[in-house]
Chains A and B, each alone.
Chain A
Amino acid sequence: MQQKFKRNFDELKNIVTMTESVFCELGLQPELRNVVDLATEELFVNMVTYNTETKEDILIEMLPHAFGLEVRLTDYDVERFDPTSAGSVNVDAPLDERTPGGLGLYLVIKMVDSIHYEYRNRQSKITFIVDRKQPDV
């Protein structure tokens, strides 16, 4: 399934609706939902927030992968930004040293099974996989 979304946080509810449909259609384990939702939101929000030079919609594709899901987000007519090289966050820092920024991409990289970035013809494509290691028994 694939769908394009406006560059607006209000689209998050429509992305959730798409994800619900895909999970239902593919019969995926509900336990995977939170990681898929989190990674998709964080990457979408990152594109909307930082790729401000384009007005193009963002394409999201969701495909079956083994016992889980492969999700691709493509942003058009943008500069290169590789979220997989985002700086790390010190999650052990005390409260007075913690700031809200940077946590989203850190969580994505920690929680998905794999993530890949590709930049070609001014298109940024981020692909991540959330999987279970074995099927239902």
Chain B
Amino acid sequence: MFEIVLQDDGIVAVEGRLDAAQAVKAQTFLDQVEGQCVLDLGKLEYVSSAGLGVLLKTHKRLMGAGSGIKLINVSNHIHDIFRYSGFDKLFEIVPAGH
């Protein structure tokens, strides 16, 4: 299961498993986003390199326009993936509980 929705508060909520089978769905959604994008990953259970590629591509596009992606509510195991990938140096990340 994977869901990505724009909430009333302007935050994009991501839920479930962002794997290679769901990457196109995520990319299609994020391709529509303009300006600063806050992604709430509090309910993201899993992300693979396909999902990381979606985040990277979107972040580069938005940074090119002077904004970018901020990741909030990032759980420890998702943060581990970001750290191994070097994404912790590329994105503004707010861990869960902060």
Q: Which residues of A are in contact with B by a Cβ distance under 8 Å?
A: 9-10, 12-13, 16, 31, 34, 37-38, 41-42, 45, 90-93, 95-96, 98-101, 103-104, 107, 110-111
Contacts of A45 in B (CB 8 A): 20, 48, 50
Contacts of B85 in A (CB 8 A): 91, 103, 107
Q: Are A96 and B60 in contact (CB under 8 A)?
A: yes
Q: Are B56 and A38 in contact (CB under 8 A)?
A: no
Top 4 A-B pairs ranked by shortest CB distance?
A: A91-B86, A100-B53, A104-B49, A9-B21
Contacts of B19 in A (CB 8 A): 9, 12, 41
Main secondary structure of the interface of A (DSSP, over half): helix
Main secondary structure of the interface of B (DSSP, over half): helix
How many cross-chain pairs have Cβ atoms below 8 Å apart between A and B? 64
**Extra contacts besides A98-B56, A104-B48 (9): CB < 8 Å:** A9-B20, A41-B20, A91-B85, A92-B89, A96-B60, A100-B49, A100-B56, A107-B49, A107-B84
Contact of A111 among B63, B84, B90 (CB under 8 A): B84
Contact of B90 among A16, A42, A98, A103 (CB under 8 A): A98
The distance from the CB of B61 to the nearest CB of chain A, in whole angstroms, is 11
Q: In chain B, residues 46-98, which have Cβ atoms closer than 8 Å to a Cβ of chain A?
A: 46, 48-50, 52-54, 56-57, 59-60, 63, 77, 80-81, 84-86, 89-90
Q: In chain A, what residue has the closest Cβ to B89?
A: A92
Q: Are A95 and B77 in contact (CB under 8 A)?
A: no
For the complex, is B43 an interface residue (Cβ under 8 Å from A)?
no
Q: Are B48 and A41 in contact (CB under 8 A)?
A: yes
Q: Are B49 and A10 in contact (CB under 8 A)?
A: no
Q: Are B81 and A12 in contact (CB under 8 A)?
A: no
Q: Are B89 and A103 in contact (CB under 8 A)?
A: no
The distance from the CB of B54 to the nearest CB of chain A, in whole angstroms, is 8
Q: In chain B, residues 1-48, which have Cβ atoms closer than 8 Å to a Cβ of chain A?
A: 17, 19-21, 46, 48
The distance from the CB of A113 to the nearest CB of chain B, in whole angstroms, is 14
Contacts known (A98-B56, A107-B85, A110-B84); A42 close to B21, Cβ less than 8 A:
no
Contacts of A38 in B (CB 8 A): 46, 48, 81
Contacts of A107 in B (CB 8 A): 49, 81, 84-85
**Most chain B beta-carbon neighbours within 10 Å: one of A12, A34, A45:** A34
